[in-house]
Amino acid sequence: MAFHETPARPDTDALIEDLRTLVECESPSSDPDALARSADLVARLGTAHLGVEPERLGIHLRWRLGGPTRVLVLAHHDTVWPLGSLLTHPFGIADGVLRGPGSFDMKTGLAMALHVLASLDDRTGVTLLVTGDEEVGSPSSRTLIEDEARGADAALVLEASADGALKLERKGTSIYRVLVKGRAAHAGLEPEKGVNASVELAHQVLAVAALGDPALGTTVTPTVATSGTTGNTVPAEASFAVDVRARTVAEQRRVDAAVRALAPALPDAALEIEGGINRPPLERALSAGLFARASGIAEASGLPPLTGVAVGGASDGNFTAGVGTPTLDGLGAVGGGAHADDEHVLVDRIADRTALLRALIADLVGGRPVGGQAGDR
């Protein structure tokens, strides 16, 4: 499409009706049967809109809409909400605010993707991938996402926005469990014969907490800790979990090396490290070109101006960025309250966000290099 053209306005009523259907099919990540029902529903809706059936990959769905993947549109249908949440948080719209479990994160984005791709005249090279385990770290879909993203010109992630802003940076995440091995002994009769795993744990918690770098945005947070068996026994074992967030690959690797290099402070104590890097960061360098392109399209098309932010939370966009694919995240709903009682979507922003997504995909399908600025052809 030419940049002076006004993007086609979506049928918001029809989109919201599909959104209601998606929200009212509860899909907690931890419930295989619920996820299967949700995947069936998404497959039916997608087939009705796109005219072709998806590839069924367990709880994941993939529509390749012609040719090798050049534009990857990424969504997920699982939510954090347990079965029965509709009883206390029913789908509804009041005063321009839409509510319902998973409506903001991220079933509005999923409905947007289906309607946008159904409306395009040319979908050559577009792939829609809808996964079912994003909220639990994408254990079964990570390889699928990375393989689909490799070689693509762009990945567009339909996660919800941050107060309307696109997400230009996401911190990478690493997850560890530090296991401490000591030696049990009677705490009253002969504690000197033991090796106190609780004391060793205290040393290691302080060492790990010191690995953070606030100036670089790196957080290293000891979280859940356990130790000991009875109140009168020198603890023989202890463990604690560690949550790491880093803005850059270099920082993530630095912390990883430091955690693996931890050494016992007490004689005869031993350490074991489990876990490691979970999601690489989405660095701004991989979103800047797409953000500039989208901003130019929005300005030329009379859509609301775009803003961008860095966020600490991770998404499947971390995986697409991790394989070097230009990635733009937060293209979904405008609203707030993800994972919380106040989860909501602003109805009057659905149309402009859907129009932006349609215009951006159409422009990418047109074949201009992603690194170029919008309007420079």
Annotated catalytic residue, options 18, 78, 153, 283: 78
Domain tally, the chain: 2
Does the annotation mark 134 as catalytic? yes
Let me know if residue 6 belongs to a domain: no
pTM of the model: 0.87
Both 269 and 305 in a single domain? no
Residue pair 227/196 in contact (Cβ under 8 Å)? The answer is no
pLDDT tens per residue, range 155-208: 999 999 999 999 999 999 999 999 999 999 999 999 999 999 999 999 999 999
Place of tokens 């993530």: 252
Question: Out of 26, 133, 134, 352, which one is annotated catalytic?
Answer: 134
What percent of the chain is modeled with pLDDT above 90?
Answer: 92
CA distances from 267 to 12, 199, 238 (A): 67, 12, 16
The answer to whether residue 3 sits within a structural domain is no
The last residue of one of the domains, among 220, 249, 279, is: 279
Q: Indicate which CATH number applies to the domain containing 332.
A: 3.40.630.10
CB 132 within 8 A of CB 38: yes
Tell me, yes or no, whether 186 and 248 share the same domain. Answer: yes
Q: pLDDT of 122-141, one tens digit each?
A: 999 999 999 999 999 899 99
Is 78 among the catalytic positions?
Answer: yes
pLDDT at 377: 27
Angle subtended by helix axes 108-119 and 12-23, to nearest 10: 140
Mean pLDDT computed over 45-71: 97
User: pLDDT tens, 267-317?
Assistant: 999 999 999 999 999 999 999 999 999 999 999 999 999 999 999 888 999
Cα–Cα distance for residue pair 21/15, rounded to 1 Å:
10
